[in-house]
Amino acid sequence: QITLKESGPTLVQPTQTLTLTCTFSGFSLSSPGAGVGWFRQSPGKAPEWLALIYWDDDKRFKSSLKTRLTISKDTSQKQVFLTLTNIQPADAGMYHCAHRRQGFGALFDSWGQGTLLTVSS
């Protein structure tokens, strides 16, 4: 069974840097084809894809956030990290990580419950 859980600060001040951790189980990120993605979601809105990291350390980013985003992994600890710099109020919302189904393009079939970020000074 695949599970993912996000963790990180619940409150960040504007201009600060956010670092989130996704801790997963039930799969290996060293397995060819494996990947983990990050999404965020505002209340009442659809999820917004942010970034994706593959088993071979290839990475993809939402173009409008590319200069602010970093994604990395610790395969042995079964963790993926997302960093977003220069946090603004528009970055508030629920952040989810998700498992990419191998062999199905960018289909994400298992999601974490999410971690809620508030941006305020």
Q: How far is the CB of 15 from other proteins (least distance, A)?
A: 26
Which residues sit at the interface with other proteins, rule CB under 8 A?
37, 44-49, 52, 60, 62-63, 96, 101, 104-114
9 or 94: whose CB is closer to other proteins?
Answer: 94
79 or 110: whose CB is closer to other proteins?
Answer: 110
DSSP 26: S
- Cβ(87)–Cβ(15) below 8 Å: yes
A 10 A CB-CB count for 88 gives 12
Q: Quick one: tokens of 69? A: 């985003």
Q: How far is the CB of 16 from other proteins (least distance, A)?
A: 25
Q: How far is the CB of 65 from other proteins (least distance, A)?
A: 10
39 or 73: whose CB is closer to other proteins?
Answer: 39
Q: How far is the CB of 107 from other proteins (least distance, A)?
A: 5
Tell the residue number behind the tokens 């809620």, with chain if given.
116
- Cβ(22)–Cβ(97) below 8 Å: yes
Cα–Cα distance for residue pair 37/35, rounded to 1 Å:
7
46 or 121: whose CB is closer to other proteins?
Answer: 46
